[in-house]
Amino acid sequence: MGHKVSPISFRLPLTFDWKSKWFSSRDYAKLIHADLNIRKYIDQKLRDASIESVNIHRGTNEINVIIKSAKPGVLIGRSGAGANELKTALEKIAGARVRVSIEEVRKPDMSATLIAQNIAFQIERRA
């Protein structure tokens, strides 16, 4: 009999890394919901920014949100106004101090998620 294994969990130690890095023995459910709300907000609000991934690292007093995007200029905005607005919105959602880091994806043509988003936008626009 074959056992079905998720390809992400199977290859995790080799090629992938966790999308959230933190540990909690008491408030686990609350923190999971906060992470999901952060990811949901970023996906809905910054749909045009070609976001590849959102990584969340929790420390004792702050949350580091690392956003990898093909268009970091859309996220940052004029003189950093977009990044500051995003930071304040995420602080309201998470209820803790948030540090937002925006990283550029050098080769967006090599990312399956960005290619899929691009195809979906083209279908929506009926191109």
Residue 18: pLDDT over 80 = no
Give the rounded percent of residues in the chain with a pLDDT score beyond 90: 52
Count of domains in the chain?
Answer: 1
111 is written with which tokens?
A: 């990312």
Higher-pLDDT residue of 52, 3 = 52
Residue 49: pLDDT over 70 = yes
| pLDDT band of 54, cuts 50, 70, 90 | very high
Domain containing residue 30:
23-124
Q: What is the mean pLDDT of the chain?
A: 88
How high is the pLDDT of residue 12? 67
Look at residue 54 and tell me if it is in a domain. yes
Of the candidates 9, 16, 101, 98, which has an alpha carbon nearest to the alpha carbon of residue 58?
A: 98
pLDDT in tens, 57-109: 998 889 999 999 998 888 898 888 989 999 999 999 998 999 999 999 999 99
CATH at residue 70:
3.30.300.20
Look at residue 16 and tell me if it is in a domain. no
Angle at 47 between CA 29 and CA 93, to 5 degrees: 35
Look at residue 48 and tell me if it is in a domain. yes
Sign of the torsion formed by the C-alpha atoms of 17, 18, 24 and 26: negative
Residue 1: pLDDT over 70 = no
How high is the pLDDT of residue 127? 63
